[in-house]
Amino acid sequence: MVTLWARAECKALISPLAPSLSPRTFHTHQTMRKSTERSRSRVKAFLIIGLCLPVGAVLFLWLLAMPNVSVLRATNPTVTALMEARQAQAEAQGHTIGRHWMWVPLSRISPYLHQAVVAGEDASFFTHEGFDWEGIKDAALYNLEAGKLKRGGSTITQQLAKNLYLSSERSLLRKAREALITRSLEHHLTKERILELYLNVAEWGEGVYGAEAAARHHFKKSSRDLTADEAAWLAAILPSPRRYDPMKKTTALARRHDRILNRIDQGSTQPEQEPEPEPEP
């Protein structure tokens, strides 16, 4: 009797645990867990692929559309993105503008204008590799203290990249393209060629492009004959060439002219310490 009672008690104690200890039940739970984990992994993989494919396709097409700047070593551009944008703006407003543009080699542009533009726009042009990080930092700190955008940090190479190839929209994608084109320009071209291109495509008034057209338009002479004073005036209006005119001297423009002229006389390459005239939007 005692033995039977003991067996009955043991069965009663073991029976609640029996389902959880069953090998078949344990195997079923394991299989379900693995199946759930596999399903989640598949969902994650599909999501990642679904996001990466379109982004990768856009980046691939974007890179394919990057300009081949190496052709600029020996070929001059026949038009720039800025020229086309100005023409489109004029047509949208119901009128047309002429295009005054004469290409001249760097050797036929006054050395004073070389110096003035570098002094006014990008003092470290001949030493940086496309980006003036100190200038960018100083400009950002100045603008932060001023509470608005008063000073830019773009180098001559960056300005050339925008002028030649890019629209005026403000977006991270456009800034990324600008950075890549800037690096490509610095990689494929010499500093002298970059300066030559910039001086020949820069905007110097309504429909006026390049140093030769600028000198003829504003001073009725060839760019090779510009004096230091005249070169400083042309460099002074570069941030806002359609707003300022060297023949109509404002106080701010005169201050900028005097600083640039002093740098030409002293051979100084110190960066701007005062805000430039507001650039074109």
Residue 69 has pLDDT above 80, yes or no: yes
pLDDT in tens, 89-128: 999 998 888 899 999 999 999 999 999 999 999 999 999 9
Q: Could you give the angle at the alpha carbon of 256 between the alpha carbons of 115 and 192, nearest 5°?
A: 20
In whole angstroms, give the CA distance from residue 198 to residue 221: 20
Is 70 exceeded by the pLDDT of residue 268? no
Q: Which residues contact 125 (CB under 8 A, 6 or more apart)?
A: 118, 155, 156, 157, 191, 195
Angstrom CA distances, 95 to 16, 80, 92, 100, 222, stand at: 92, 20, 8, 17, 29
Could you read off the pLDDT of 243-256 as tens digits, one per residue? 888 878 889 999 99
Predicted structure pTM score:
0.72
Q: What is the pLDDT of residues 217-243, one digit of tens each?
A: 999 999 999 999 999 999 999 988 988
